[in-house]
Amino acid sequence: MGSQITIRTIDDFKVTGVLVEIFDGTGALVERGTAVQTDKPAEWIFVATVANNSIYGDKIVVKATDLPGNLTGKESVLND
């Protein structure tokens, strides 16, 4: 809880929103929320609000939406 995830986005158009989902090692949703853009154009910050005792095997899914409404996503599994 309180941990920050920094997301860097690059797009031909303006990124208008970033959604973050965190799943535990069993695939259960731990948390879902929106990231907030920093003063840097391509940087967004997500702050966790749910306690997560073990992050090993967790999956973080990030979905960015651009001005025309296109959605692009990326997944990362935490192994350490």
**Tens place of pLDDT per residue across the chain (80 aa):** 789 999 999 888 899 999 999 999 999 999 999 999 999 989 999 999 999 888 899 999 999 999 999 999 999 999 86
Is 2:48 a contact under the CB 8 Å cutoff?
yes
Range of the domain at 32: 4-77
Give the chain's domain count: 1
What is the CATH classification number for the domain harbouring 41? 2.60.40.1220
What is the pLDDT, as a whole number, of residue 13? Answer: 86
Cβ atoms within 10 Å of 9's Cβ, excluding its own: 20
pLDDT of residue 80: 62
The whole model's pTM is what? 0.92
